[in-house]
Amino acid sequence: MAEAGADYIGVIVGIDVSPRQLTIEQARPICEQSSLPVVNLFFNRDVEQIREAVAVLKPHAVQLLGQETPALVKALTQTIPCQIWKSVHLPPVNEGEADISTLLDMVNSLVDAGIHAALLDTVVSAAEEGARWGGTGRVNNWTAASRLVEAIPVPTFLAGGINPDNVREAIETTHPFGIDLASGVESEPGRKDPEKLRRLMLAVREAVPEGS
């Protein structure tokens, strides 16, 4: 990943519904040996569970993927010695409108509680799929995302269905701090495809000229 130009590596810890999830012990050697700053991803875990994982894995940041509250974020700021990132969820493109005002109020309350970065991801709640908060491989409403990126007062990443064919448009439309990647550059869940990564990074360099 570092060779491809990545700035961070994400390691999913104990999220049973994810095909990419690892136990703390499985994640430990990856975190210890990574040449990149590690972000550990958690879904609706409590403060003690996150604290225990952070004590072992020592990540650069934790990313909260679920419906974690400002109160939990505030408690984490007093408990763990790393950054706290928070996913914020938008509907898939052409499937419902995002309430920008409500989302921005929520993000500002999380910023006040202590988050260091936000990630705009996709939520799928169709009855046949069940609610899926991120990890959907679905593009979200980039018009809404662009408005949020402009208004949110902390670095804001774009996630959700980003791949080599749409990453340039994603960047030029939303102007995020960074891009969060998963299925769009994989050959199978949890296994990155070197050719997809190469193509994506070429598109990123075209969208963001060196030095800009």
Cα gap 124→147, rounded to integer Å: 21
Radius of gyration of the chain (CA): 16
Domain that holds residue 183: 9-207
Residue count of the chain, please give it.
212
Confirm whether 3 is domain-assigned.
no
**Structural domain contains residue 2:** no
**pTM of the predicted structure, to 2 decimals:** 0.87
Mean pLDDT of the 61-76 span: 96
Assess if residue 75 is contained within a domain. yes
Of the ranges 28-32, 120-124, 198-202, the best mean pLDDT one = 28-32
Cβ–Cβ under 8 Å, residues 146 and 174: yes
- Highest mean pLDDT of the ranges 17-26, 100-109, 115-124: 100-109
CATH assignment of the domain containing 174: 3.20.20.70
> Is position 212 within any domain?
no
Residue 105 has pLDDT above 70, yes or no: yes
pLDDT of residue 196: 83
Q: How many helices (H) and strands (E) does the chain have?
A: 7, 10
| Residue 24 maps to a domain | yes
Q: Give 185's pLDDT tier (boundaries 50, 70, 90).
A: low
Give the CA diameter of the chain: 46
Residue 123, token pair as written in the block? 């939520």
For the chain, what is the domain count? Answer: 1
